Amino acid sequence: MISIKKIVLLLFVVLQMQATLVFAQSVQTYPSNWFVQMKNHKVQVLLRSTSADFTKANLKLNYPGVRLLGVHHFENGHYVAADIDISPAAKAGNLQFEIITAGKTIKVPWSLLARRKGRGTQFAQGLNSADLIYFLMPDRFSNGDKSNDRVVGLKDQSLNRDSIFLRHGGDLQGVTNHLDYLQKLGVTSLWMTPVVENDMPDRTEHGYAATDNYAIEKRFGGEKAYLTLSDSLHSNGMKLIQDIVYNHFGRFHFLVQDAPSKDWLHQWPVYTQTHYREQAIFDPYHSVADERKMINGWFTTEMPDVNHENPFVEKYLTQNAIWSVETFGVDAFRVDTYKYCNVEVMNRLNKALLDEYPKIFTYGECWVDGVAAQAYFVENNMNLPFKSNLKASSDFSLLFGGLLPALNESNSWNNGVIKLYSTLAHDFLYKQASNNVIFLDNHDMTRILSSLGENIAKNKMAYTWLFTSRGIPQLYYGSEILMKGISNPDGWVRLDFPGGWEGDKKNAFTEQGLSKEETDFLHYVQLLGSYRKKSAALTTGKFMQYLPDNGLYVYFRYDAHETVMCVMNTDTKERKVKFSDFQERTNGFKAGKNIESGNSIGSEFSIPAMTMQVIELTK
């Protein structure tokens, strides 16, 4: 018979075990797991518990092939960091960190997983000029799962499609449901606004204020929906681009609200916002104060600036990027607010990704003033103290300095289409200009149709240029069906894609309810996408342009087997075009085929005012 004393002792042991288990479950780990056989085998695991004091904690780890190299403590006792080395001999499995603190041992489970290659899908493929990117906002594209429209416990419980600022309910399942629509456009790669958790009180529709970099937004369907989308893209021969933010966190990120130490963020005596002027970084006459404010100033009050100079922060961001590729099969990264980051740290982060995934492609949002400024942030041919290893930039300079003036300004010596020619002439600054992502609009700027005064003829020229110029073209959701909007405020350029919600009277996926103009324009974009996809000259060929002649601008895309002649007439009157004026590229060709009409064109032809033609030359 068991004595009362033994029963009490047994009960005490059970309660202690339960308390330890609960305590262990309250410890979060970042990264949440790692992988065997990685080149990045030295990992720093950040352990956090809001109910513990790890100020003087000791750590133990006993797992074959894994060594504990060091332990780091912080001024905030909620955190402790473990440096570990995962040898090539380590096998996939579950290990435990033992945290010894205040006389207690807390066992924290942590996993080593097999590499993603076991899933049998391609990933980390990178991007190149043969790709066509489609950019969308998950919350505004399609609601494929109503059950996640609101998630209990999250701060923002809004759901109102009548508001341009509140959540609308779009999700990742909605995107997966409509990959066939993207394929009809010739799209090869999908970029979405950030899909990580944004547990902010409001304006959570855009995703740029992360509150946990290791969690996928539950209102988008969470990790399962993101994996499903990734696998669906890859099984259809498409690629996944992840929008990632290194510059800032959301104000309610746990690393802001409960930072390990004050130096995880750029701190100021009073709130200090960046001045947004990138010249303060590379200007040979700049002041240190201006440079510091540019890089260390906050983007907004809701987006605290991350301190890249802190080695723990650099490790956290680097590991999260690598973990994202391996976990979700990411093929490329688009980096938000790149010009505000510490470029030396970005170089090291980019290199770490390339060391692990040699084909990975990273391009930055470098919204800057001029080609030279843009080239500074990417691989370039300039002799500068700092040399970037960033593959490419979103080509804001080519859009604002070239295409929009070409279509909106009257032609003169310095205005109009000559600006498009001149901007491209500065491509000598780039190591590989064809890496740059060219585009007409995005979620932060006025839609292209509105930028062109709602002139559909000009809009058609813009899309024709987009599909035929050098670089990697990117579409912005809905502009292919003539969605319009002026970015003041930005909500007007982030409206719902028609047909993405049950009961929508207009459905662009099926073309039901579209006007004739909208349908015709969609079909034209589909034609351009289909032709570009099969044209080696447009996807991987060389580029040659001729000086504009009073508004008539001609350029060629060509390789050893195919030559495509692109004629843009920005003049106010019809113009004559002769092959003989472009002998360097037309020699040996006697005619051509208009890719839109399919009609044959002779070596002399006319092109109407404010139109553009794409002609495949024939012998």
CA 13 to chain CA mean position, Å = 51
Over the range 375-399, which residues count as b (16 or more CB within 10 Å of their CB) and which as e?
bbbbebeeeeeeebbbbbbbbbbbb
The owner of tokens 């020619």 is 421
CATH code of the domain made up of 542-618:
2.60.40.1180
User: Is the CB of residue 231 less than 8 Å from the CB of residue 270?
Assistant: no
The residue behind tokens 């319009």 is 484
Residue with tokens 């004739």: 516
The closest alpha carbon to 329, from 253, 210, 232, belongs to 232
Pair 44, 30: CB distance under 8 Å: no
* Structure token digits, residue 66: 């894994």
Bigger pLDDT: 18 or 479?
A: 479
224: its two tokens = 């399962």
Decide if pLDDT at 7 tops 90: no
Q: Let me know: does 409 contact 458? Beta carbons within 8 Å.
A: no
pLDDT tens-digit series, residues 467-499: 999 999 999 999 999 999 999 999 999 999 999
- Amino acid 126 reads G
Residue-wise pLDDT tens digits, 500-532: 999 999 999 999 999 999 999 999 999 999 999
| CATH 3.20.20.80 is held by the domain 246-394 | yes
In the chain, where does the domain assigned CATH 2.60.40.1180 lie? Answer: 542-618
| Residue 13: predicted pLDDT | 43
AA letter at 129: S
What is the rounded distance in angstroms from the CA atom of residue 108 to the CA atom of residue 379? 43
Q: What is the DSSP letter of 17?
A: H
CA distance 555 to 548: 9
Structural tokens at position 317: 């961001």
| Alpha-carbon gap, residue 140 to 186, rounded angstroms | 21
Tens digits of residue pLDDT in 251-308:
999 999 999 999 999 999 999 999 999 999 999 999 999 999 999 999 999 999 999 9
C-alpha torsion angle, residues 245, 246, 252, 257 (rounded to 10): 170
Q: In whole angstroms, what is the distance from residue 463 CA to residue 563 CA?
A: 20
* Gap between the Cα atoms of 565 and 468, Å rounded: 9
Q: Is the pLDDT of residue 28 over 50?
A: yes
pLDDT at 180 over 70: yes
Residue (of 363, 491, 524, 487) closest to 434 by Cα position:
363
42 vs 265: CA distance, rounded Å: 24
Q: Where exactly does CATH 3.20.20.80 map onto the chain? A: 130-244+436-534, 246-394
**pLDDT at residue 118 tops 80:** no
Amino acid at 517: E
Find the mean pLDDT for residues 119-144.
Answer: 93
Q: Which two tokens stand for residue 527?
A: 């034609």
Fold of 14-113: Immunoglobulin-like (2.60.40)
Separation between Cα atoms, residue 523 and residue 528, nearest integer Å: 9
Portion of the chain with pLDDT greater than 70, in percent: 95
Nearest to 228 by CA among 329, 138, 326: 329
Instruction: Give 14's pLDDT tier (boundaries 50, 70, 90).
Output: very low
3-state secondary structure of 344: helix
For residue 316, what are the CA distances in angstroms to 45, 61, 323, 348? 9, 21, 10, 13
Tell me what the mean pLDDT of segment 124-137 comes to: 98
CA 15 – CA 63 distance, rounded (Å): 27
Does domain 130-244+436-534 fall under CATH 3.50.70.10? My reply is: no
The catalytic site residues sit at 336, 365
pLDDT band at residue 20 using 50, 70 and 90 as cut-offs: very low
Residue 16 pLDDT exceeds 60: no
Detail the DSSP E strand segments found in 116-221: 133-136, 189-192, 196-197, 212-216
Q: Which of 383, 295, 375, 387 is nearest to 347 (CA)?
A: 387
For residue 225, what are the contacts with CB-CB under 8 A and spacing of at least 6?
145, 171, 172, 173, 176, 216
Within 273-413, residue ranges assigned H as helices are 279-282, 288-296, 311-328, 343-356, 371-376, 396-398, 404-408
pLDDT tens figures, 422-449: 999 999 999 999 999 999 999 999 999 9
Q: For residue 85, list its beta bridge partners.
A: 42, 67
pLDDT given at position 5: 58
Q: What is the mean pLDDT of the chain?
A: 95
Percent of the chain scoring above 90 in pLDDT: 95
Distance CA 241, CA 484 (A): 25
Mean pLDDT in residue range 360-367: 98
Q: How confident is the model at residue 117 (pLDDT cuts 50, 70, 90)?
A: confident
Where in the sequence of the chain do the CATH 2.60.40.10 domains occur?
Answer: 14-113
Residue 311 half-sphere exposure toward CB, CA atoms < 13 A: 5
Residue 362 neighbours by CB under 8 Å, 6+ apart? 332, 333, 334, 335, 350, 353, 390, 391
Helix 516-534 × helix 456-468 angle, to 10°: 10
